[in-house]
Amino acid sequence: MAYAGSGTWQIGLDFNYTSGDYGTGNDTDITYVPVTIRRYFPKGDLSLIIPYISIKSTKEVTIVGGNPNKIRQTSRTTRKTEDGLGDILVQGRYYVLEETDTLPLVGITGNIKLPTADEHKGLGTGELDAGFGFEFSKNFSDSWQAYFDIGYTFVGDPPGTDLRNQWYFDIGAGYYLAPELLVSACYEESRALVAGEDNPRDLFLALNYDFSSEIEFTAGLLLGLSDGASDYGFTGGIRFRF
């Protein structure tokens, strides 16, 4: 929905932990802690996301666009922990259609992934990615809402790999248990970056609590539905508006 908060800026800090083998046979544990700076406008917003990453893996899986993806197969079985700055993301959204009694809110999105993560540590691909997408949301009552997002990312190939461009989508619904408390569930799927691998598919359950007009808390649980996805994950975050 269009922004209706008390300020035009938001700063958020999130903690994300995921674990799985992503079809490699070797477990990868990822801690992803992004700081998000967002500027709101009357018809959209612009975000800068600066993440810290810690990955315990055999370097077969890395973060691409903020999500774990298998990018190669190796013969290594010993896991090593690497950490540092992740890829900085720039994301924007512009609303092209306001919600009415019959029509949904429609937004166009765009994103650029800057290759600031150290590819030698397995924290990123070392390549520039860019993408676009569309967002749809509709309130069906004071309590119920539904949403659908779809997009496409042009993925850069690191040396020695042939990664596919990636489409993605998610569909979900939310219910307000109270005016300040929203619970939601959504199905997420994206195209596997490596041909022949399972598409990452998962179910994400979320909780959003507006403590005040300036402070919001979030929590989430991810349940993997395919070999290409995390087996499980959990998130937590806080956002300040001013």
Q: Residue 161 contacts by C-beta under 8 Å, 6 or more apart in sequence?
A: 71, 72, 125
How many C-beta atoms surround the C-beta of residue 80 within 10 A? Answer: 12
Distances (CA, A) of 29 to 58, 132, 161, 235, 237: 10, 28, 22, 14, 19
Q: Which of 176, 230, 155 is nearest to 198 (CA)?
A: 230
Half-sphere exposure for 23 (CA within 13 Å, toward CB)? 21
Residue 157 DSSP one-character state: P
Tokens of 66: 């903020």
SS3 229: coil
For residue 58, how far is the Cα from the chain centroid? Answer: 23
What radius of gyration do the chain's Cα atoms show?
18
> Pairing between strand 28-41 and 9-20?
antiparallel
- pLDDT 10s digit of each residue in the chain, 242 long? 444 445 799 999 999 999 999 988 899 999 999 999 999 999 999 999 999 999 999 989 999 988 999 988 777 778 999 999 999 999 999 999 999 999 999 999 999 999 999 998 989 999 999 999 999 999 999 999 999 999 999 999 998 889 999 999 999 999 999 999 999 999 999 999 999 999 999 999 999 999 999 999 999 999 999 999 999 999 999 999 99
Residue 54 in contact with residue 19, Cβ under 8 Å?
no
pTM of the model: 0.92
Tokens of 97: 């259609």
Q: Which of 98, 121, 109 is nearest to 3 (CA)?
A: 98
pLDDT at 6: 54
Residue 169 DSSP one-character state: E
